[in-house]
Structure 1
Amino acid sequence: MGILPTSNKFPVLVVLNPHSGRKQGLEIWENTVKPALNAANKPFRLIESNSQGHVISYFVNNIKPILTDLAQSLSTTSGTTTDEETIVYPTTAKLQIIVLGGDGTVHEIVNGILKGVEGTSFVTDSFRPEVEFSVIPTGTGNAISTSLGVMNAQDAVDRFNAGKTVPLRLMSVTSQNSQLYTVVVNSYGLHCATVYDSEEFRHLGNDRFRQAAMKNVENLRQYEGKLSFYGPIQRYNRASSSLLYDSKEINTTESAATLTLPGPFTYLVITKQASLEPGFTPTPFAKTSDDWMDVLAVQNVGQAEIIQMFGSTATGTHVNQDHVEYIKAKAIELEAPTQGRLCIDGEFMTFGAGPEGKVRFEVTSDPNIQIFHIFA
């Protein structure tokens, strides 16, 4: 059985984070999104985030009954008499979620859903929901929306009503003690330090990242580490201005790396999004819907090179600079000689030193994980 639409009786889930970005989420909900849902006669269930971690906890605790209700709303009956009738659930169905918040809110929903169904039979070959996101850009960076070219809240609503979606592919991040999934960016070095320090400038909105970046460029550090790529890669070639495919068929679980960057790293991002905020496009070849991770790596450079790179990211021409490495990959491992910090979709993870502490990044092929789509 193919993908079925959401039942007319089943509500769209609306996740509102009133604290994200410039705190305009509630106003946009009341003036733009809610009227559009009412006009389309779409029932909704409003879930308002009241504290950090509330959204992920909500989905961990509630995704099972939500999926059960969704399946039942789309179920049919078989048999010739009432006594013989049995419930037939659809193989697949759509769960629609409108997000008024930033990329971090999407991250919490994704991880809440997957953690909530982990170890259960709720997502299997016999019933695999398709979770569809409509992201209303009310966060600070709005990387997902910006990468898809969504201009504003009304544009996002129009795309939701049009009904066209593309896959929102996840990256798995696995360390010695944990595994989680990311939808936007994993970073090490200057980018991670910038996001970490931007909290003290949150009142500035998007400008908080520029302020924190200036602070970290002024006190530029190098971050020890080794980045290893496994399996096929595409590496940007400045002479041909194109990505060249390395077709080495090396299994992603084998120990032999296709390529190793020795570091130290000044700047390192591993992402699925082309833009991380308006006017900042560090990975211009990235696609939300493909099975590659895009890596921008700058190793052991000074302030002049970093400033030069930042100055060209709006147009994507920074990939032609000698000190910039641009690679598309399937599986990556990061190892550092000392304990380090990663930025994971705006949150932070500490990883250990040496081989025992290495972190693996991968675009998983598990169909029970890759169930997310986004209106585009």
Structure 2
Amino acid sequence: MNKVVFIVNEYAGRGRAKKIWVAWKAKITFPYSYYLTEYTGHATEIAKNCAENSTEDVFIIAIGGDGTIHEIISGVTEYEHVRIGVISAGSGNDFGRTFSIFQTVEQLQEYVNDFNPYEELDFGKLTAPQDSYGFVNNAGFGFDAKVVYSVNNSKWKKWLNALELGKLTYILYVIKELLTFNRFSFTLHTEEDTIKFDDVWFIVVCNQPFFGGGMKISPNSQPNDQLIEMTVVNKLTRWKLLFIFGTVFFGKHTKYKEVKQFQAKNFRITMHDQVYGHVDGEFSCMTYVDQSYSFSVQSKAWNLAKPKSKGS
């Protein structure tokens, strides 16, 4: 490779990314440069600058969680000469459940030395009335987005993370929203039909099967098929929702009549209530009443470096 760049979010995984970076860089023998992220969106800026400032092949290696990976890929989707390698170091790591990642220094050394293959993958896009948001894994509206927003803005999160009890924050807000969440309505517009959904818990559109730290919400999603899948959960009691959540980790929730799934190259919906939204596990926007939103897929939008071997 002509250029190797590490982008590291040292705070990912409650400091796990920093520990990995320290251990790996002590063993790396090839030339490289590196950047440490300092704020939300910084990884996107760094990745885009690296792509713009080189006409030669660039190999960017992400060390962080799904949020860091999302930011880096978002910054390079227009650049065919960039490859992305990933070392997962977050808490949820949904990316690593589907996509190829580097698990050892030996794998990475081998890739850099031998210039191994890469895979061209899809990138999703949520278009809202006033902005647009890219996604690698998934995007949606409703219950899960409200939980994500509440957790990320919780005064308890930092304190519980310090005690290595960060997941307790998520559990607490799942229970809270299970008891208080106001369900909503939306209309799905397809080429064949217009379908109104009431009493909706959430909508999620996926580019790969997993979300929420290992829940297999969309079992048939593939990140290289030029399609996206929508899952809608509606018309079920609060306690049945809790039960169904338990089956999502195994992809068994699709057998319930309250879970509907659709597959297409794009979706257009009209939201009839004000609802929280998310992309790749981060807050995106609040919806406007009776406004239109769309989901689409950009095929072969970015290049994923694939380890050749299992390493040692």
| TM-score band, normalised by shorter chain | 0.7 to 0.9
Cα distance change on mapping 1:104 and 1:318 into 2, 3 Å = same
- Corresponding position of 1:105: 68
Distance 1:36 1:257 in 2: 57
Alignment of 1:297 with 2:248, yes or no, is no
Match of 1:96 among 24, 39, 59: 59
Aligned pair count reads: 294
- 1:350 is matched with 286
- CA shift, 1:214, in A, is 2.0
Q: Is contact 2:276-2:283 (8 Å) kept?
A: no
Identity %: 20
Local SS of the residue matching 1:198: helix
> Following TM superposition, by how much is the alpha carbon of 1:259 offset from its aligned partner in structure 2, in angstroms?
5.7
Give, in whole Å, the separation in 2 of the partners of 1:108 and 1:59: 8
Q: Equivalents in 2 of 1:278, 1:165: separation in Å? A: 25
2:107 aligned with 1:158: yes
Return the alpha-carbon distance in structure 2 between the equivalents of residues 58 and 149 of structure 1: 22
Question: What letter matches 1:298 in structure 2?
Answer: V
Rg bigger for which structure? 1
Q: Secondary structure of 1:170's partner? A: strand
DSSP 3-state at the match of 1:176 = coil
The CA distance in 2 between the partners of 1:190 and 1:261, in whole Å, is: 18
CA distance 1:135–1:335, change in 2 (3 Å): same
Structure 1 match to 2:144 = 191
* 1:179 maps onto 2:167 in alignment: no
1:322 aligns with 2:257: yes
- Residues 18, 260 of structure 1: alpha-carbon distance in 2 compared, 3 angstrom cutoff: same
Q: Does the aligned pair in 1 maintain the 2:277–2:285 contact within 8 Å?
A: yes
Instruction: Point out where structure 1 has 5 or more consecutive residues left out of the alignment.
Output: 1-5, 71-93, 118-122, 230-255
TM-score by length of 1: 0.70
Aligned-residue offset at 1:361: 0.5
| Aligned counterpart in structure 2 of residue 27 of structure 1, from 7, 11, 19 | 19
Q: Are 1:375 and 2:306 matched, yes or no?
A: yes
**Distance in 1 separating the partners of 2:126 and 2:223:** 17
Flag the 1:222–1:339 CA change in 2: closer, same or farther, 3 A: closer
Match of 2:221 in 1: 286
Q: 1:228–1:334: 8 Å Cα contact kept in structure 2?
A: yes
Is residue 221 of structure 1 aligned with residue 182 of structure 2? yes
- Paired with 1:295 and 1:45, the residues of 2 have a C-alpha distance of 40
Q: Does structure 1 retain, via aligned residues, the 8 Å contact 2:138–2:208?
A: yes
Give the distance between the partners of 1:371 and 1:286, measured in 2 at CA. Answer: 17
Q: Which amino acid aligns with 2:14?
A: R
Q: Residue 363 in 1 paired to residue 312 in 2?
A: no
Deviations 1:326-370 (A, max 9, x none): 22221111211244331122132233232xx311110124x6xx1
Q: CA RMSD in A?
A: 2.6
CA contact (8 A) 1:168 1:183 kept: no
Match status 1:144 vs 2:117: no
Change (3 A) 1:97 1:160: farther
